[in-house]
Amino acid sequence: MSEQAIPRRAIVLLVILTLVWGTNWPLFAYAVREISVWTFRAVAVTLAGVSLLAVARARGLSLVIPRMYWPTICTGTFFYLVIWNIASTYSAILIPSGQSAVLGFTMPLWSALISWAVLGERMSVRLLLAVLLGGAAVLLLMVPGIDAYARAPLGFALGLTAGLGWAIGTLILKRGKVMVNALVLTGWQLLIAAVPTTAGAFALAEGPWFMPSWQTIVVVAYIALVPMSIGNAAWFSIVGMLPVNVAGLSSIMVPMVAMVSGALVHAEPLGPVQWAAMACCVAALSLALLKPVKPT
C-alpha cells in the first residue's frame, strides 16, 4: 500500500460500516423466528435494492448502467452477494451464527492473499503486519467454536467460502473499474442477487403462507434498510477510495462489534480471548489506515 493519506470520508464510512454491520448479527435470530432464512434473505435484498435505487433516482442520478459494465457487475455480484448469502446462510444453520460470522469476515485475509498470489500486487511491511494481526484476531475468535466446527465441518467450509466469495467479488468489481455511482451500483447488485435468493426461498422455504408479526416485519425492514442498504453502499464507496485489501481490514472489526452486541443483547460470553482479538484488530487497523508521521 502506498503511503498516501487515507481520505477522511473513508474513515467516517468505515466507522458507519462497522457499526451497522456489527450490530446486525444479534438481530438475525429475531428476523428468522417466524420465517425461513431464505425468505428473510430474499425479502431483505429485494427491499434494500429497490430502496437504494429509489433514493438514487430521487437524487437525480441515472439508473442506467452502460452495457459494457454488466458482465463485470453480474460476475462480481455472483461471488459477493449470491455466494455470500447462500454460503453464510447454510453455515449459520450448521454452526453457531456468531462463529459463522467470524469465518465469513475472513474476507480481508483472502483479499490480501489473492492480490499477492494471483494479481502480483506487493504488500508493504505495514500492511503485511496488519494482515497477520487480523489473522491472529480471527484465529482467537475461532477458538471457542472449534468443537462446533468438528461436529459440522461443512458449516466451517461454507463459512470460509462466504468470505472467499466476498473477496473475489469485490476484487472483480474493483479491477473492472466500474464507473457507476455507489448507490446505483449497490441497488442493482442487490436486485441481481434477489433473483437466485428468491428462487431458493420458493424452493426451500417451509410451511404455508402467512403474515408474520409486526415485530418480525420491523426487524426485517430495519436489516434491509440499514445494514444491507446503507452498509453495502458504504462498502462500495470505501472500495472506490481505498485498495481492496486495506478496505477489507475494516471488516475485521465487524465480528468484534457483533460480539459486544451479542453480549449485551443475548448475554453471550465476552472474555479475555475476545478482548485479545479486539486488541489485535485495533492494532491491525492502526497499521493499515494511519499514515506514519515523518520526522521533521
- Residue, of 294 and 279, whose pLDDT is higher: 279
Question: How far apart, in whole angstroms, are the C-alpha atoms of residue 251 and residue 241?
Answer: 15
Tell me the domain boundaries of the chain. 8-120+145-242
Question: How far apart, in whole angstroms, are the C-alpha atoms of residue 234 and residue 10?
Answer: 9
How large is the average pLDDT for residues 98-121?
A: 75
Q: Phi and psi for 278 in degrees, rounded to 5?
A: -65, -40
> pTM value?
0.79
Structure confidence by residue, pLDDT tens digits, 5-61: 667 788 888 888 888 888 887 787 788 888 888 898 899 999 999 999 999 999 999
pLDDT at 193: 94
pLDDT band at 102 (very low <50, low <70, confident <90, very high): confident
**Do the Cβ atoms of 196 and 82 come closer than 8 Å?**
yes
pLDDT at 87: 86
**Do the Cβ atoms of 55 and 123 come closer than 8 Å?**
no
* Number of DSSP helices (H) and strands (E) in the chain, helices first: 16, 0
Amino acid in position 144: P
Q: What percent of the chain has pLDDT over 90?
A: 25
Instruction: Give the dihedral sign, CA 74/76/82/86.
Output: positive
Residues 6+ apart with CB under 8 A from 282: none
Q: Phi and psi for 242 in degrees, rounded to 5?
A: -130, 155
- Residue, of 162 and 126, whose pLDDT is higher: 162
Question: How far apart, in whole angstroms, are the C-alpha atoms of residue 200 and residue 221?
Answer: 20
pLDDT at 4 over 60: no
Average of per-residue pLDDT values in the chain: 81
Structure confidence by residue, pLDDT tens digits, 221-233: 999 999 899 888 8
Task: Give me the DSSP letters along 10-23.
Answer: HHHHHHHHHHHHHT
- Residue, of 279 and 59, whose pLDDT is higher: 59
pLDDT at 1: 43
Residues 6+ apart with CB under 8 A from 144: 99, 269, 273
What is the residue whose three cell numbers read 471488516? 251
How large is the average pLDDT for residues 152-179?
A: 87
How large is the average pLDDT for residues 269-293?
A: 70
pLDDT at 194: 95
Instruction: Give the dihedral sign, CA 223/225/229/230.
Output: negative
pLDDT band at 294 (very low <50, low <70, confident <90, very high): very low
The conformational region for residue 16 under phi > 0 = left, psi -120 to 50 = alpha, else beta, is: alpha
Structure confidence by residue, pLDDT tens digits, 237-274: 887 787 766 676 666 677 777 777 777 776 666 678 77
Question: How far apart, in whole angstroms, are the C-alpha atoms of residue 117 and residue 120?
Answer: 6
pLDDT at 232: 86
